[in-house]
Amino acid sequence: MSESSFDKTNLGWQLGLLQQRVEEWWELKTAQNIPNVQLPSWFDSPILWAIAQAAFWLILALLAVWASWQIWQLLRFYIHHFKKRNQTTDFSAKTTIKDLSVAEWLLRSQKLQQQGKYRQACRCLYMAMLQRLNDAGTVVHQPSRTDGEYLQLIQQLPQSVPYETLLTIHQQLYFGNAEASQSTFEQCQQAYQQIKD
């Protein structure tokens, strides 16, 4: 074996070295400050040393358990919040393009807008646009298609700007975590009206 294959140091050796230095420092300080004081014999006992080590490792283990518990609580909160958000705010994602007609998507959009649920209302307009493209045979809907793929496909249309607007807003709302507002919905509604006309 070459010399480089041997460990130059390891954690156990470092801890032993640190312990030795602390003991030597303690002996030096106690010898300087109280030269005539004799420590009781039980203070140097291996049993006391074992108890001190056990107490140290127990405290360290308790701190690790407490830290793990705190991290778990935090993660659990975020996981629960994320699941709840996906279940309550994205109901229309479970409805496929072939399940509803354009008119039904538009009606759903209006109801959600009246309830102040602008994010879902914008998604319904987006789904109505996809349904319209699918019904016309311009761009056949495929669940695996991304917004980027739809953007490429609509570039061939004579007026692609309103389609781009709806696709871009959809991307921002669902993949960029942008907040939806009344003005966002109005932008989507205006873009959809341009498609419709």
Q: CA–CA separation, 133 vs 87, rounded Å? A: 27
Q: For residue 116, which amino acid is it?
A: G
> Among residues 71, 111, 68, 75, which one has the least CA distance to residue 91?
111
How many of the other CB atoms lie within 10 Å of CB of 120? 22
> Which pLDDT tens digit goes with each residue over 16-57?
888 888 888 888 877 766 555 566 666 677 787 888 889 999
Sign of the dihedral through C-alpha 66, 70, 76, 77: positive
> Which pLDDT tens digit goes with each residue over 46-85?
787 888 889 999 999 999 999 999 998 888 877 876 766 6
Q: What is the pTM of this model?
A: 0.52
Contact 87, 94 (CB under 8 A): no
Residue with tokens 């570039």: 155
